[in-house]
A = this chain, B = another copy of it.
Amino acid sequence: MSTLLEFQERFDLSMEALCARMLERHQATIRIRKPAVAIANLARIVETTLTLANAKGFHSMSLRDLTEHTGLSMGALYAYFDSKDTLLMMILGQVVVAVEDVLTRPPPGLEADPAARLRWLLETHLYLTETMQPWFVFAYMEAKAFPREGRDLAVASELTTERLLAEALEQGASAGLFRVADVEMTAALIKPLLQDWYVKRAKYRRRGIAPERYAQSVIDFVE
Seen from chain A, the residues whose Cβ lies within 8 Å of a Cβ on chain B are 54-57, 59-60, 141, 144-145, 182, 184-185, 188-189, 191-193, 195-196, 200, 203-204, 207, 209, 217-218, 221
Contact = CB atoms under 8 A, between A and B. Distances in A.
A217 B189 contact: yes
Contacts of A192: 192-193, 195-196, 200
A203 B221 contact: no
Copies in the complex: 2
Given A184-B207, A204-B188, A145 B56 contact: yes
A189 B204 CA distance: 11
Contacts of A189: 193, 196, 217-218, 221
Contacts of A55: 144
Contacts of A60: 59, 145
A145 B196 contact: no
10 contacts: A55-B144, A56-B145, A59-B60, A182-B217, A184-B207, A185-B207, A188-B196, A188-B203, A189-B218, A221-B221
Contact of A144 (B141, B200, B209): B141
A207 B185 CA distance: 9
A118 to B, nearest CB: 16
